[in-house]
Chains A and B, each alone.
Chain A
Amino acid sequence: MNARPAPDSLPPAADAANPVPALEARGLRKRYGEQTVVDGVDMQVARGECWGLLGPNGAGKTTFLRMVLGRTPPTEGSLRVLGLPVPEASAATRARIGLVPQLDTLDPDFTVVENLRVYAGYFGIRAREAHALIADLLAFANLEAKADAPISTLSGGMKRRLSLARALVNTPDLLVLDEPTTGLDPQARQLLWQRLRMLKSRGMSLVLTTHYMEEAARLCDRVTVMDRGRFLDTDTPARLVARHVEPQVVEVHGIDALEWHGAGGADAADRVEVVGDTVLCYLRDERPILDALRDRPGLEYLHRPANLEDVFLRLTGRDLRDA
């Protein structure tokens, strides 16, 4: 496992050599009838940056990505992707975008290697040029042994890696990933993260949606918390945590937790959130509460540093795990 760069040393990444942003949205809005799904958002993603869009299901993440891909015409606002206006020039931008969709759209009529070959054909890549490229992509995705396997025989992690390999056939400038690790087991997730970091280190711009806080914290230079169509705040994961929540969290759970809270047990905390049967105590100094909890053997508790999940809860008032 590579060590993460110290978060506070990370400014919003910018590629000085390429001043054209990977993504630039202004006042972007999408309405379906009365319902506003994306509600006037502004964002700029620099070349070489990894930007994460974090929010529960139904927050508007996928609709935002669909607009980026030219799949959903915006109701209002302007959008430029790799310097070109979208949806007007979306065919030209898609030639330079790689997409890993939320639901696999691998072609079940073909084997692994045929999937890459056929998809390369959609980009107008000649069979001769595709050949060497596909060998590299199979190696990158760790799928060499499965080259001639039908799609139906692949595990979830293999399918997702093939989706990633497929998204790279056009050597994209911008890689768009919609919940790339949803449904994957921890090993498969780690492998995918490692590959994404590798791509980022090569200078590729990444835009991803996720509802895994850990994913956003590990991969993204900047994260935007999205809920109900709005971008609530954007910054590095560490700064978001520092700005919105107290540094220490004591989670108290179990059948007596709510009663303990009701009796004033959490009064020493700077702030308290109740999520289900868990009492979350946010504090600058955790010692008084930890001392008090030691005298309550019926309660289970966990002391941890604050993370993006707490930021999310603070900004949206919603429990992400329930979302």
Chain B
Amino acid sequence: MSTTPATSAPHVRSYPAGLGWVPVWRRNLLFWRKLAPASMLANLGEPILYLLALGYGLGALVGGVGGIPYQVFLASGFICSSAMMTATFEATYSAYTRMAAQHTWDAMISTPLGVGDVVRGEIAWATTKSLMSATGVMVVGAAIGAVRGWQALLAIPAAALTGLCFSAIALVVTTIARSYDSFLYYTTLVMTPMFLLSGVFFPLAQMPEAIQRLATVLPLTHAVALVRPLVIGGSVEAPLLHVAVLLGYAATASALAARLARRRMLV
């Protein structure tokens, strides 16, 4: 900022424009490091349980989906739902704790950081965590033969985009939440239907017409449509459309979250 006079404290340097989110992200990373072993165990343990139990248990009943074994079908969808769930929990319960219970956001905006920096840092952090859990699913999926080919590596940025999208949406909910109970509405009314109706567990094609139409507006549907072919080895139909939908949700929700957070914090 050109109007900024030199501070009397030479060690204070302002972050380059647009990078104010970095220290917020780093704060969350530093805390995560204290619990990293448990966190990584969960990142690998949960997909192992799901993929083994559902993949082999349910897979024995349904056989395959469109010619591929069920656990292969499930693993590719589970990469997306796992990114979604991790992003959602981090950007709701954990972020709300920092905002409302611990007053961590208050402390941050007493420094040169602005509310927008805090919002972007929280979104970046929840995205990072979702990336870790999606990668965990990918590793477990590879171990059970559900990852077919190197193009599957492209599913990692796609999962990150999924995480970004759901982090931003969840943070919108956080900025208007009145208590932890508010998140029950969001998880029950939005997350659970999305989890079940986006093609993670079964192909959308077998659902009623109305549900298929509803599913086209759900971001998780687009995430699955993007990630599944990459993981099981196939061509992605209309990749730009899916990326654009996820980016559109992410950009809109980020802007809205920043606006709502300002309204909440700067009164």
User: Residues of A at under 8 Å CB distance from B?
Assistant: 69-73, 83-84, 89, 91-92, 94-97, 99, 101, 103-110, 114, 118-119, 121-126, 129-130, 133, 170-173
Contacts and interface: CB of A to CB of B under 8 A. Distances in A.
Interface residues of B, number: 34
Nearest to B265: A71
Interface stretch (B12-20, B78-86, B154-162, B183-191): B12-20
A129 to B, nearest CB: 5
Of listed A101, A107, A129, residue having the most chain B CB within 10 A: A107
A124 B4 contact: no
Contacts of A110: 30-31
B267 A72 contact: yes
Given A72-B267, A101-B106, A104-B103, 19 more contacts: A83-B5, A84-B5, A92-B14, A94-B110, A94-B111, A94-B112, A96-B12, A105-B106, A109-B104, A118-B23, A121-B27, A122-B24, A123-B12, A124-B12, A125-B11, A125-B12, A133-B11, A170-B12, A171-B9
Given A69-B110, A73-B266, A172-B9, A124 B103 contact: no
Contacts of A171: 8-9, 11-12
B109 interface: yes
A217 to B, nearest CB: 28
A323 to B, nearest CB: 23
A91 to B, nearest CB: 5
B240 interface: no
Nearest to B13: A124
Interface string B1-45: 101110111011111000000011011001100100000000000
Contact of B7 (A103, A108, A170): A170
B252 interface: no
Given A107-B107, A108-B102, A124-B23, A95 B8 contact: no
Contact of B104 (A73, A91, A107, A133): A107
A95 B112 contact: yes
Contact of A122 (B30, B103, B108): B108
A103 B107 CA distance: 11
A97 to B, nearest CB: 8
Given A69-B110, A121-B23, A96 B8 contact: yes
Interface in B101-148: 102-104, 106-114
